[in-house]
Structure 1
């Protein structure tokens, strides 16, 4: 009997040994991948490395914006009120985007730094906690927004003619809003691991699908603005599923429910790192609402012109955003590894590229302002208002070539307060007062020049703040303004 029992014991021992060997092999392979990525990010020549990281991000951003412009083109055929409705719905979707980026950028920044330190276990916890926390919060907000959709649209500036169309467009988007939100969690998490290519594939696939489905739902199925909303919801769901698959199969650190353990110090640190993104995108949402409300007294044509104008300028802004996104993982890895001179050199490379690009874009948009507006609406009043607004914005557009890379660097290396302050400036504390004050004296022209005024003041504020950050990076022996955020420092002090 004892002999019979010894055989299964031997088999079990062999199986355990095989499992152990396999686990060690998987672990060794993972560590080899991490070491290779660490070497690439901290030793490769900076300019080619940043451009290699930025290329997929730029492509994803540009394709997404082309989709946005295509959407504007298709919706424009449904009338001025429909174009205005899309602009009215935008703020609530920006709220979900801001929430996603709060946890996506907040966890992603720290993931890059932790991988720079080769602290893989903590990086793995960060991606899981960020994803599942955002999923829960966005579900609650989405349900509330659906229940209050009509008063929300009125609050965002909908006129009586725009209101029913805005509700029609918003409902499908709100249904999938938790997926839309967590897409913005997973995307930066992949980018900050140096896996921009995989993040790009998911975003581009969703945008291209939307460009195909939208005209079918609008014109073939004759579903109007509701069809546009349904097509967008399907595309967003597809992008989310691809993003999750990419994370699970290609991520250096991956999302696992088993890694989601409520840890308030970790969540607070993540929120600290993501607050600048929340502020930037939250302020963008507030800015869109403020522009809509300021333009409301001047009619549907003014609201539609501002919505189209915003999308045109966003298209050209996406290249410098992509450059900054390509720099962020390089910045995070090298900051974590204490290679501060590489951080400085990479930053100035991105600033130079951004300034050249935005100067060229400003000349192009100013020259072809009317034809650009005419692509989306054939209403002469919309074209007149939009073209004039575009030319005003082009006067100061180049300034963001310094402001945006500075803001992204500040956030990546943990200067939460400074990054939040700069993020508040352009779309918040300077733009909103300008929109409240200038139209009282200058009418619609006051609405048009509010953004350039905010750009100038934000640039003036950013210069000394970024100079302070860069001075802190001149000493390669210590970490400037410790990356740990206030809540994380306090929690660790208690221990």
Structure 2
């Protein structure tokens, strides 16, 4: 797609052309992430293995956070510069992102390899799960640079309006991961370590694909040696915009730590294992919403740079309606068929029963998350890093994480909490407090969606 079409083509048609490949890519990404957990859940020690995977998720999420800081943060800037007709600065931005991703990929690899066990204990590991968690994250860490380049630079493919090529990046890695997982996990008897090895091999192939495209004549933007030296102002601009998605992912890591440790205390290993499944199913809602927003981002960023504000508004309204609609439908389906979805990840009756119960509580506010993510991503697309950062912090740091620790002491012993947790009381240490930990998620989702939507509407009305 030519970037000029971002300014002229019918918005509904354009958004679908850009969003559908992004949504497919995100759904494939869901499968990508879920495959490891599905196979791991079928191991003889499936519940312990799933709990071990759960305690590695904060580290993996932190890697994603740094990827967004240096990669996702620069992509909207490049699109805005293209809208302004400044291709040179757009390419400088992309090359700065690439160098930062390489540098920090190396730094994070060293940190994880040196400090993995202390980190895993902080993140909710115990004697039952530390060995399995360590074997997984050791191998995964060796592929950190591949992961960061793949995700970070793929954003620059999407921001050019080439969503199909961006979809192929994810598709190639996902298919390869699905093929390699059973081979390494079961045929080579590597267990969780085999899942990690399959993942980094798949990501390395995707990384090669991304680099091949950005160096080819098919790309509007190209990686050029003359921009290899970091430019302070450019790097600062990338991080200023990337700090919002970085904070969202970094706080997601902190959130996973909070959930893991609280559930370990009140529900034991089964609670930590359930969290890995809840995160997987939450991604089934969140990642397609991100795909919709990624489809809208190039249109909004390009036209914001071109000062075509009505086109920005029309794109936002369409994206908002689609995101809220999808979020509500996905929420209802998943809550009705909770046991069916959970059974994909585990064959243990106790784990299935507990996690199905937990999922219905966890997702009660998921429908409104469509509004939250649309407004959050729109602030990013329109180069409003301060507001975007504030909204990112509000949901998790101000609302959710404090409630995870406060609610068990406030309502954990009430008749309401005890009644709501009656069906799982025999499986956990404290049913009422386990329920209260999970209830923090929907409360914060509803409150954060209300606040973020209100803030964006004020900004929206000021756009002329």
Q: State the TM-score, normalizing by the size of structure 2.
A: 0.92
2:73, 2:239 within 8 Å by CA — same for their partners in 1?
A: yes
Equivalence map 1:158-169=2 (5 Å): 158-169=125-136
1: distance between equivalents of 2:206 and 2:285? Answer: 23
Q: Does 1:439 align with 2:408?
A: yes
2:47, 2:273 within 8 Å by CA — same for their partners in 1?
A: yes
CA deviation vs aligned residue, 1:159-206 (integer Å, no higher than 9, x gap): 110000000011111011122112221011111111111111111100
Partner of 1:454: 444
CA deviation vs aligned residue, 1:129-176 (integer Å, no higher than 9, x gap): 111112102211211110111111111110110000000011111011
Equivalence map 1:236-385=2 (5 Å): 236-249=203-216, 250-297=218-265, 298-385=267-354
Residue number among 20, 31, 38 corresponding to 1:66 in the alignment: 31
Residue number among 383, 395, 398 corresponding to 2:364 in the alignment: 395
Q: Does 1:200 align with 2:190?
A: no
Partner of 2:200: 233
2:3, 2:161 within 8 Å by CA — same for their partners in 1?
A: no
CA drift of 1:425 comes to: 2.3
Return 5+ residue gaps in structure 1 as ranges.
Answer: 1-35, 476-495
1: distance between equivalents of 2:70 and 2:233? Answer: 14
2: distance between equivalents of 1:382 and 1:359? Answer: 26
Return 5+ residue gaps in structure 2 as ranges.
Answer: 413-432
1: distance between equivalents of 2:369 and 2:166? Answer: 25
Partner of 1:42: 7
SS in 2 for 1:148: helix
2:262, 2:437 within 8 Å by CA — same for their partners in 1?
A: yes
CA drift of 1:303 comes to: 0.6
CA drift of 1:460 comes to: 2.5
1: distance between equivalents of 2:111 and 2:180? Answer: 28
1: distance between equivalents of 2:37 and 2:98? Answer: 31
Partner of 2:388: 419
SS in 1 for 2:2: helix
CA drift of 1:62 comes to: 0.3
Partner of 1:111: 78
1:276, 1:420 within 8 Å by CA — same for their partners in 2?
A: yes
Equivalence map 1:139-178=2 (5 Å): 139-178=106-145
CA drift of 1:401 comes to: 1.3
Partner of 1:100: 67
2: distance between equivalents of 1:455 and 1:359? Answer: 13
CA deviation vs aligned residue, 1:246-303 (integer Å, no higher than 9, x gap): 2111321112232122211111111111111101111111111111111111211111
Farther off after superposition, 332-341 or 248-257: 248-257
Partner of 2:454: 464
1:294, 1:439 within 8 Å by CA — same for their partners in 2?
A: no
1: distance between equivalents of 2:352 and 2:47? Answer: 12
1: distance between equivalents of 2:399 and 2:109? Answer: 30
Residue number among 14, 37, 49 corresponding to 1:82 in the alignment: 49
CA drift of 1:101 comes to: 1.1
Farther off after superposition, 368-377 or 46-55: 368-377
- Runs of 4 or more, structure 1, over 6 Å off, are none
Partner of 2:419: none
SS in 2 for 1:320: helix
SS in 2 for 1:425: helix
Farther off after superposition, 434-443 or 109-118: 434-443
Residue number among 397, 416, 424 corresponding to 1:428 in the alignment: 397
Q: State the TM-score, normalizing by the size of structure 1.
A: 0.87
1:130, 1:270 within 8 Å by CA — same for their partners in 2?
A: yes
2: distance between equivalents of 1:39 and 1:460? Answer: 35
SS in 2 for 1:388: helix
CA deviation vs aligned residue, 1:294-339 (integer Å, no higher than 9, x gap): 1111211111111101111211222221110000001111111111
Aligned length: 439
1:284, 1:428 within 8 Å by CA — same for their partners in 2?
A: no
What value does the CA root-mean-square deviation take over the aligned residues?
Answer: 1.3
2: distance between equivalents of 1:286 and 1:56? Answer: 31
2:146, 2:200 within 8 Å by CA — same for their partners in 1?
A: no
SS in 2 for 1:37: coil
1: distance between equivalents of 2:345 and 2:79? Answer: 40
